[in-house]
Amino acid sequence: NNYEMILVSQNANVGIIQLNRPAALNALCKQLTAEMVDALNKFDSNPNIGAIVLTGNNRAFAAGADIKQMGDRKLTDMLNDDVLDWTVGIRAIRKPIIAAVNGYALGGGCELAMLCDIIYAGEKAVFGQPEINIGTIPGAGGTQRLVKAVGKSKAMEICLSGKINLNAEQAHIAGLVSGVYPADKVVAKAIQTAKLISAQSMPIVALVKNSVNHSFEVPLESGLEYERRLFQLTFGTEDRREGMKAFIEKRKPKFANL
């Protein structure tokens, strides 16, 4: 692993990726996003990893796309070389990704957090979509996922005001994050949840993630139909049989990921 802008480690069955470009507040430049997607893919295909934690440092989760790298680009540059292709890479990851956010999660950084499956925030975390201040708009889900997370009025306010002021508590109340913890505890909390997930049947976990994400794509009736099919599909696994059998026999299930 010759990564320069991320740190990769493992805690039991949990893969941990720390964005590590502190001098630029983890601005999401080409190299950083490429390394991040590469590490995510490696964890995704590693049978010893059940879930992934993505974090930054105390000052920043990520302060957005790299403005310096984008400054001189023309439309044709953007079309020929999509600086947002990493978002497609993250969406393809089957294992759950938990974002542990301390400090700034701005622009592409907030969108990166929303691309993850669960967001935990440290008490000093700050979220915002300040793109409007630099003459552009969110490009990686800020006007789409944020609406689903916090509703239209708040999403409009965040994207139109460009203010960097949605603190952890507000983000929690609004439903953007699922828990707020002391800054020095948020990664540990994410790892704890990731371990819980890792103890489950991996194919079943992937189906849950897939089904929840599907709800963003389709109308309710189609989503329910899709969910029902995936539910039926679990009956093709050994782990479903073992899970129910263990319940009936009043013991813990032993999942074989089969």
Catalytic residues: 65, 108, 111, 131
Q: How far apart are CA 175 and CA 19, in angstroms?
A: 24
Judged by CB, which is closer to ligand HXC: 59, or 228?
59
**What's the Cα-to-Cα distance from 171 to each of 19, 156, 180, 181, 209, rounded to whole Å?**
22, 14, 9, 12, 22
Instruction: With CA atoms as reference, report the closest residue to 104 among 157, 182, 26, 178.
Output: 26
Residue placing its CB nearer to ligand HXC in the complex, 46 or 170: 170
Q: Which residue from 5, 4, 86, 102 is spatially nearest to 53, judged by alpha carbons?
A: 102
Q: Do the Cβ atoms of 69 and 19 come closer than 8 Å?
A: no
Q: Report the C-alpha gap between 29 and 168 in whole angstroms.
A: 25
Which of 139, 223 has the CB closer to ligand HXC? 139
From residue 92, give the alpha-carbon distance in Å to each of 3, 128, 137, 171: 21, 25, 24, 26
Nearest approach in angstroms of CB 110 to ligand HXC is: 8
Q: Residue numbers of the site for ligand HXC (CB under 6 A)? A: 24-25, 27-28, 63-68, 84, 104, 106-108, 111, 130-131, 134, 138-140, 164
Q: Which is nearer to ligand HXC, 46 or 69 (by Cβ)?
A: 69
Q: How far is residue 165's CA from residue 151's CA, in Å, rounded to a whole number?
A: 17
- Contacts for 71 with CB less than 8 Å, ≥ 6 apart: none
**Smallest gap from residue 154 Cβ to ligand HXC (A):** 18
C-beta of 31: minimal distance to ligand HXC in Å? Answer: 13
Least distance (Å) from ligand HXC to the CB of residue 99? 15
Lookup result for tokens 């938990």: 98
Of residues 132 and 208, the one with the C-beta less far from ligand HXC: 132
The closest of 36, 53, 10, 39 to 193, measured between CA atoms, is 53
Name the residue with tokens 């949840």. Answer: 193
Residue 101 CB, shortest distance to ligand HXC, in Å, is: 13
